[in-house]
């Protein structure tokens, strides 16, 4: 039995509480099936410097992801109330304003999602990881990073483009971009 998730397999579904536009609500991965690609981003915890920078950079690229019919979902082991406090804390761009993200932060306080995606560290944090899930709910790509290593948003967009190109052009490869 494999100890990891596989490309080409159905992504584990989840139902959790998320925070979007400072409101709490239920978020289920399967709600995007048949509608959008999903970039599922796991980050260790709120208030960590790499996490803040990545979330800001993802947010700055949200329109680019929308061009590819893609929803960003960010998951950490924090509670929904921690997410709300994180968003309301004036830590964005020299304390000038609150974090105003155009995608939800999902609570995995029970660590169930993180365990199902095989990302729980020995310290009880979520490993920084990213999954690209297609409209059918199939994992097309994933990467796992060191806790202190940030991700390149342009590379995520490039991979998303490549996946969509290959799916829309059966039998053709996507050359290096």
**Per-residue model confidence as pLDDT tens digits over 116-143:** 999 988 888 888 999 999 999 999 999 9
- Helix, strand, or coil (residue 92): strand
pLDDT at 97: 55
State the average pLDDT for the chain. 87
Mean pLDDT computed over 163-177: 82
- Extents of the domains making up the chain: 19-26+33-168
Q: What global pTM score does this model have?
A: 0.90
Q: What is the DSSP letter of 125?
A: P
- CATH annotation of 19-26+33-168: 3.40.30.10
Q: Please say if the pLDDT value at position 114 is more than 90.
A: yes
Edge-to-edge order in the sheet of strand 37-42: 23-28, 15-20, 105-107, 70-76, 37-42, 129-133, 139-144
Beta strands in 62-175 (DSSP E): 70-76, 105-107, 129-133, 139-144
Q: Please say if the pLDDT value at position 67 is more than 80.
A: yes
């Amino acid at each position: 039995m494999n100890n990891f998730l596989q490309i080409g397999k159905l992504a584990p579904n989840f139902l959790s509480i998320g925070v979007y536009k400072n409101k709490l609500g239920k978020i289920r991965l399967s709600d995007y099936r048949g509608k959008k690609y999903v970039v599922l981003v796991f980050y260790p915890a709120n208030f960590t410097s790499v996490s803040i920078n990545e979330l800001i950079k993802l947010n700055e690229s949200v329109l680019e992801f929308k061009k590819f019919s893609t929803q960003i979902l960010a998951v950490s082991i924090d509670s929904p109330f921690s997410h709300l406090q994180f968003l309301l804390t004036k830590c964005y761009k020299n304390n000038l304003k609150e974090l105003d993200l155009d995608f939800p932060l999902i609570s995995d306080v029970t660590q169930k999602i993180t365990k199902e995606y095989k990302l729980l560290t020995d310290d009880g944090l979520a490993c920084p990881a990213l999954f690209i899930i297609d409209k059918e709910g199939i994992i097309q790509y994933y990467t796992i990073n060191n806790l202190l290593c940030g991700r390149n948003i342009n590379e995520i967009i490039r991979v998303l483009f490549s996946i969509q190109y290959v799916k829309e052009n059966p039998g053709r490869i996507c050359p290096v971009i």
